[in-house]
Structure 1
Amino acid sequence: MINWSNTSNVAHTGVMTDRVLILGGRGRIGSSVAQDIANHTQAKITITGRTPETGSLPLAEREQYLSLDLVEVDKLREAIANSDLVVHCAGPFHYRDANVLKFCIEQGVNYIDVSDHRSFTSKALTYHEQAVAAGVTAVINTGIFPGISNSMVRQGVEQFDEAEKIKLFYLVAGSGGAGITVMRTTFLGLQHPFEAWIDGKWQEVKPYSERELVDFPHYQRNGVYWFDMPETFTLPYAFPSVKSVVTKFGSFPDYYNHLTWIAAHIFPKWLMQRNGMIEFLSHVSHTMTDFTNRFSGIGVAVRSEVTGKKNGSTGVYASTVLHDNAAVATGCGTGIVAQLILEGKLHKPGVLPVENALPTDLFTEVMDSRGIKIEHTFLKYPEQVMSPHGKDSAT
């Protein structure tokens, strides 16, 4: 049994205090989420990890630690039952089941996650009707990308009478301030081809292919490549008029891209599909980026381009956002959703990706409150050139 004697949700003033459970809260992403929620709400936060050691955790006044492994089903159910909101940060999500979401729906507890793979997204979306019936708001794919990126797209789509094409470009410097789990996610994403919505039909795409040079704020021109993200899968359904959705990811410095390309295209497929190889590459990459972070920084940049028609004219609405710490930016992207749910401003029963759940006015409001500025440019044909990026056939 869990000792909840210190987790009363009634503060000394007699006012009810929200209780937030962050699964995987010891990692760099989870701790960034916890910090953002602590900064912008009065919630009492419980963070979990698989080990009992808590000495190294800088627990704040409204935070506590719970040793919990997701396979401990009874303990997990009890922890969820004693919460008002659950934030699932225990990745990687490639092979995760949706039991946490299922338990939240069964117990009427709102849910958020930082999932970043279509396999998990597909599993989660099957619980949509159950969440609607239970009155549970479950927002999936939150963070920086997916997450803030999806809301940037929604804002772009809303500028047109009819949106036709979506392009999302992501760039992470060094390790991005994240831990080994994010490295695993990157290499797991190289294992298999995936389907992308191109020219009005689903087409198979090879991971880390079709290098493109894109201008990002601060980082200038850098290579990006096709990468399987849940928004590749969800955005075509959110915006049915769109005929193509492109999602490309790259690293800074650019030489990391070439090393990743080699892993995707030169290493034998059977080798890349072994867990041991994924672990080896993840640890080597993490060691390398820990060294180069001092030169590259650990920031993130996102560029969204939505092409569409407005009053009969075709144009593109481009949005860019820059943050000096990718892990902190992820915490903000998840924290804004948590804040709005806890404040009662976001109540949409069902299982919804960010672009379906978060209205643009609320998105801009909470982003402004965190001092995160999104730059916008509207380029109209034929007076202006559409896109400031080009293609490069090099690896």
Structure 2
Amino acid sequence: MGEQYRVVALGGAGAMGRPVVEALAGRADIAELVIADRDTAAAARLAVKYANASAATVDASDPVRLRELFRDADLVVNTTGPFFRLGVPILRAAIESRTHYADICDDWEPTLDMLAMDAQARDAGVIAVIGAGASPGTSNMLAALATRELDTVEDVHTAWPVDVPFVGDDPADGAAGGESAAVVHWMQQLSGTIRIWAGGAPAERPPLEPVRLDYPGLGAGTAYTVGHPEPLTLPMTCSIIRDSACVMVVKPETAAYLMTLREEIDRGSLSLEQAAAAIESPTAGRFARSALRRLSLRGPGALPPFFALATGVRDGRPCRIGARLIGSPRGMARATGIPLSLAAAQILDGSVRAPGVHPPDAVLDPERYFEELSAHCDPPRTGRDEVVRVDRTP
């Protein structure tokens, strides 16, 4: 038997954590999988399903308990949010414990703070892969496939679906999932200002700005910006000389309603939690204000639901390369948690060797990533080509 590891699944009993636990529990090289969660009963119920799992109680805001939990672990996989509150202190505890780390952070603000901890991680010999979920995560891997075909990269956009049909949809997810941490996060990233890449440099912009994109072989459509880490991390792995943003593929009526909520959040008349609740229970007044705005908005047109699109130059000619997801684990929780387990696998088997804080596309092998993702799709696929399709202008 080869080397054996102890892995801590922080938040492992939660919606995002359970798919990670399920995927990692079957690995022969994990001697102990610690399901660490503030919900002790849920962690215990999940742990009894797997021979190599145990349960632990943890408050993710307690740095002393985190260091104690991480001290004898080889790897921490973190699905505990919201990351704009917990991402930095949890990564700090992992670095101080000299424990490798991977998470699903999808907030751009703590992404910057965690990237700034790169020197600390390198000094401690810690590998940290942040934002290894769906978006960011799978989106970064799609961008890696698209940009590597260009000699010069001008623009890169990553996109994910809100209310358009997608192969990974799960009816059990509902329209918005209630006042979950994910929806509160979404409201934060649709209010205030967000960080994008514009004119070859970081820039502050309001969210929900329309972006017209022309996807090769399918056609054009309009998507809307959202605050996500990809525009901050993609320029670290390829030289983007013009623009990059993360956008939502969303119907005009939904975009209009989100704009109405954004105005109320920015005025201070609506908290993030109240805005999350208003997704599920819209009022007649907000509907009316949204209806007027909707008349001026464009829709997604021919855009696919989940993709990365890179424009630039190849062999001296202008070129557009798109990479789109055509197979996926079903539901938001699995589509986010399974990618984290794939990142963990590349850390555990030594494929990722460089200490430091990294975005996924800086250290993960995209070919292997999509090959392994195929086995976790619903229904299972048989390889990379059944999960991702790369499209090119002639």
TM-score range with shorter-chain normalisation?
0.7 to 0.9
1:269 aligns with 2:253: no
Equivalent residue for 1:30? 17
- Describe the superposition over 1:63-119 as per-residue Cα deviations: whole angstroms up to 9, x where unpaired: 322111023332211110121110111111123352222222222211001111121
Deviation at 1:125, TM superposition (A): 1.2
Q: Does 1:346 align with 2:352?
A: yes
Find the aligned partners of 1:83 and 1:102 in 2 and give their Cα distance: 15
Give identity over the alignment, percent. 22
Letter of the structure 2 residue corresponding to residue 244 of structure 1: D
- Compared with structure 1, are the counterparts of its residues 17 and 353 closer, same or farther at alpha carbon in structure 2 (3 Å cutoff)? same
Matching of residues 86-165 of structure 1 within 5 Å:
86-96=76-86, 98-165=88-155
Determine which of 156, 163, 167 is the counterpart of 1:166. 156
- Cα distance in 2 for residues equivalent to 1:203 and 1:235: 14
Maintained 8 Å contact 1:216/1:302: no
Equivalence for 2:183: 183
Displaced runs of 4+ in structure 1, greater than 4 A?
39-42, 173-179, 211-217, 220-223
Q: Does the Cα contact within 8 Å between 1:24 and 1:47 map onto a contact in 2?
A: yes
Q: Given residue 271 of structure 1, which amino acid in structure 2 is its aligned partner? A: G
Secondary structure (helix, strand or coil) at the match of 1:243 reads strand
* TM-score normalised by length of structure 1: 0.79
Counterpart CA distance in 2 for 1:216 and 1:34 is 38
Establish whether residue 376 from structure 1 lines up as the match of residue 374 from structure 2.
no
User: In structure 2, do the counterparts of structure 1 residues 260 and 41 end up closer, same or farther at CA, with 3 Å as the change threshold?
Assistant: farther
Deviation, structure 1 residue 247: 1.4
* From 350, 356, 361, the counterpart of 1:355: 361
Matches within 5 A, 1:42-61: 42-43=29-30, 44-54=32-42, 57-59=45-47, 60-61=49-50
Q: In structure 1, what residue type is equivalent to 2:245?
A: V
From 271, 279, 284, the equivalent of 1:285 is: 279
Say if 1:168 and 1:247, in contact at 8 Å, map to a contact too. Answer: yes
Map 1:286-305; keep pairs closer than 5 Å: 301-305=305-309
Distance 1:163 1:215 in 2: 16
In 2, Cα distance between equivalents of 1:175 and 1:24? 24
Shift of 1:364: 3.8
Q: Which amino acid aligns with 2:262?
A: A
1:104 partner SS = helix
Residue of structure 2 in register with 1:329 after alignment: 335
Quick one: structure 1 residues 159 and 375, their matched pair in 2 at CA, closer, same or farther if it must change by over 3 Å?
same
How big is the shift at 1:148?
0.9
Q: Does 1:17 align with 2:31?
A: no
CA distance in 2, matches of 1:216, 1:330: 27
Partners of 1:177 and 1:326 within 8 A in 2: no
Unaligned stretches of 5+ residues in structure 1: 1-13, 289-299, 381-395
Using a 3 Å threshold, how does the CA distance of structure 1 residues 361 and 374 change in structure 2: closer, same or farther? Answer: closer
Q: What is the DSSP-based 3-state SS (H/G/I as helix, E as strand, rest coil) of the residue aligned with 2:393?
A: strand
Please report how far the alpha carbon of residue 134 of structure 1 lies from its aligned counterpart in structure 2 after TM superposition. Answer: 2.1
Task: Answer yes or no: is the 8 Å Cα contact 1:190–1:207 preserved in 2.
Answer: yes
Aligned length: 350
Task: Determine the structure 1 residue equivalent to 2:230.
Answer: 231
RMSD: 3.0
Q: 1:301 to 1:179 in 2, by over 3 A?
A: farther
Aligned CA distance change for structure 1 residues 223 and 153 (closer, same or farther; 3 Å):
same
Structure-1 separation of matches of 2:355 and 2:257: 43
Decide whether aligned partners of structure 1 residues 268 and 227 sit closer, same or farther in structure 2, where only a CA change above 3 A counts. closer
TM-score (norm 2): 0.79
Query: 1:112 corresponds to which letter in structure 2?
Result: A
Q: Report how far residue 40 of structure 1 moved.
A: 5.2
Q: Structure 1 pair 326/223, CA: closer, same or farther in 2 (3 Å)? A: farther
For residues 146-174 of structure 1, the C-alpha deviation after alignment (integer angstroms, 9 at most, x for no partner) is 00111111111111112111111110344
Q: CA deviation at 1:204?
A: 3.0
Counterparts in 2 of 1:373 and 1:201: CA distance versus 1, 3 Å: same
Aligned counterparts of 1:56 and 1:157: Cα–Cα separation in 2:
44
Question: What letter is aligned with 2:372?
Answer: V
Cα pair distance change 1:241/1:209, threshold 3 Å: closer
CA distance in 2, matches of 1:224, 1:57: 42
